Structure 1
Amino acid sequence: MKTRKVGFIGLGSMGKAMATNIARAGYPLTVFDVRKEPLAEMEKLGARVAKSARKVGEESDTVIVMVLDFQQVKEAVLPPEGALGGMRKGTTLIITSTITPQNVTEVESVAREHGISVIDSPVSGGRLRAEDASLALMVGGEDAVVKENEDVLKAVGSNVFHVGKVGQGQAMKMVNQILVSANIVSVAEAMVMAEKLGINLQTVYDVITRSSGTSEVLQRMGPSMIARDFVPKVTVDILIKDTGIIMDTVRALEIPLPVSSTVYQIYRMARARGLGQKDAISVFQLLEEFAGL
């Protein structure tokens, strides 16, 4: 059993998988979520269930937060009722949610007043890689704090990259999401064109995954697209949130990102068609509709 006591707030599909791996790595674990079902599952794995986010803070050396957006981050961490309200001086808060660098800085300024360190560590890889602890973690934080929590981070994902100071993890995640969000749309467009040309989609997959047009998105998501399996792993709504962060940053930096702007609007159109809670690859259905398929 490890000695560092870890708290985890947010047990959605990603968070529950991440917390499960922390428990399996031997860390004393305290968890909190607003829903009872994942708490019961974690309790069976030996985790302690806290009655509030603040209680998680009181019982932990390191608190990890994995919730949907900045509003939920604030509810989970800000004093008096959030984790920071209960955390001791010298402990660490790790934010794995995807928010903006400015959001992280806002939380970090509050934490600093309480003598608490912050690491921002958004993740990439989706639910399946969360389950097998092979996520990529894009870590921003002070060298000593990151080093102190390195083993905890590695329990969550085998690919841990310390990319810079607090906030730089979120900046790197934006760069990643530019590529991921556009690649999903590109794969969907390619599949639609192939359909129009009468090419079997499995043949497209077999050929392109061995050609220069391949990508991890095609390799991982292509089979689901071909099978028309739109059960959500990463939803359209989540990618709207992520690409919305990119658009806000583009405006602040006053730089043109025309492809990303178009991609953002495509996901918004998908949500307008009722696909918000479907998997992000359901943009394939939207583009099929546009193509008259």
Structure 2
Amino acid sequence: MSHASTVAVLGAGALGSAMAMRLGESGHEVRLWNRTEERARAVAEHAAGVTAVSAVGDAVSGASVVLTVLRDGDAVAEVMSDAIGRLDNDAVWVQASTVGPRNADALAGLARDHGVAYLDAPVSGSTAPARQGKLVWLVAGPEDVLGRARPLLDDLGSSVLHVGTGVEGNAVKLAVNAWMAASTVAMSDVLALCDDLGVDHATFVRVLEAGPLAMPYELQKVRVMDDASYAPGFAVQLALKDIELAAAAATPSPLLQAVRDRLEATVAAGHDNDDLAAVDYLRKPPSTA
């Protein structure tokens, strides 16, 4: 397909909206659909090249690429079961939702039954990298199908990693997100240790930056945690969803169970839609934070 194409983005959440805006700015004709139409319209109103579409079938009809960015496997299956019959014969379905290997396999089967080219392609990165075209794609599927979708993936990402030919993308994504959640909880707990030991957080960060233990993502979280500023990025509730998917797919892990407990407590404290850094809310009682 040519570099500029017609793209259907299904899902106007934070990530889907950011992807749609980036694609519109890159010259693609973007049709944005969301179950709640007002959300898609609010994005399209201020985004070049993006049109809100009320019917999912109209969004996908004639699109070269259909990009699903929905909450979970059930949502993707429900939406695509209705829409898949409207896809053009040469369309590529890029399934970017984090749904876990079992659901990804079922969605691949749905695509196969309808003769639709399919990529299991979640991303590492959230809204800011999506707007900047710096997502990391974790793509599984046939190489020829990847080649057809590659121009669009390149417009959204700084790296396109071909990790397999089936649904390995979602397996890799669960491992990546488990590491992200676990390291964020660990950073919060180590900041509490710093407080108990009388170690200034800036000193702690400076030491990490001087050696091989620095992790840029978590060093950024130190500032966010200290400021108690949990502006939406990767929501706590989505991290919890992914940890639960990992727990269902793997041998029980005491570490991931502890991370799950912390995420559940953070959601219970009312931070479900806040950035993952909000796990630090529980580091100190609100009265002394």
CA RMSD of aligned residues (A): 2.0
1:159-194 CA-partner distances (Å, limit 9, x unpaired)? 110100231100110111121111001110111111
What is aligned with 2:62? 59
What is aligned with 1:142? 142
Alignment of 1:155 onto 2:155: yes
SS of alignment partner, residue 115 of structure 1: coil
The answer (yes or no) to whether the contact 1:230–1:282 under 8 Å persists in 2 is yes
**2:100 aligned partner, one-letter code:** T
Note the residue ranges of structure 1 that are not aligned, 5 or more in a row: none
Distance in 2 of aligned mates of 1:216 and 1:260: 22
What is aligned with 1:279? 275
Distance in 2 of aligned mates of 1:49 and 1:275: 29
1:190-224 CA-partner distances (Å, limit 9, x unpaired)? 11111122222233223323334321332222211
Distance in 1 of aligned mates of 2:189 and 2:233: 20
Question: Displacement of 1:239 after TM fit?
Answer: 0.7
**1:55 aligned partner, one-letter code:** D
What is aligned with 2:209? 209
1:5-154 equivalent positions in 2, closer than 5 A: 5-33=6-34, 34-43=36-45, 44-79=47-82, 83-154=83-154
SS of alignment partner, residue 90 of structure 1: coil
| CA 1:3–1:128: 2 relative to 1, 3 Å | closer
Distance in 2 of aligned mates of 1:24 and 1:229: 29
* Counterpart selection for 1:257 from 240, 253, 275: 253
Question: Displacement of 1:59 after TM fit?
Answer: 2.7
SS of alignment partner, residue 270 of structure 2: coil
| CA 1:269–1:48: 2 relative to 1, 3 Å | closer
SS of alignment partner, residue 85 of structure 1: helix
The answer (yes or no) to whether the contact 2:3–2:152 under 8 Å persists in 1 is no
SS of alignment partner, residue 274 of structure 1: helix
Question: Displacement of 1:26 after TM fit?
Answer: 1.4
The answer (yes or no) to whether the contact 1:78–1:107 under 8 Å persists in 2 is no
The answer (yes or no) to whether the contact 2:25–2:49 under 8 Å persists in 1 is no
The answer (yes or no) to whether the contact 2:236–2:274 under 8 Å persists in 1 is yes
SS of alignment partner, residue 199 of structure 1: coil
Distance in 2 of aligned mates of 1:76 and 1:206: 48
1:226-250 CA-partner distances (Å, limit 9, x unpaired)? 2111222112111100101100011
The answer (yes or no) to whether the contact 2:37–2:54 under 8 Å persists in 1 is no
Question: Displacement of 1:42 after TM fit?
Answer: 2.2
SS of alignment partner, residue 94 of structure 1: strand
Distance in 2 of aligned mates of 1:258 and 1:37: 39
The answer (yes or no) to whether the contact 1:104–1:166 under 8 Å persists in 2 is no
Distance in 1 of aligned mates of 2:92 and 2:180: 30
Distance in 1 of aligned mates of 2:153 and 2:104: 18
1:102-160 CA-partner distances (Å, limit 9, x unpaired)? 11221221222221111111111222111101011100111110111111111111111
The answer (yes or no) to whether the contact 1:54–1:86 under 8 Å persists in 2 is yes
Note the residue ranges of structure 2 that are not aligned, 5 or more in a row: none
Runs of 4+ in 1 over 6 A off after TM superposition: none
TM-score using structure 1 length: 0.90
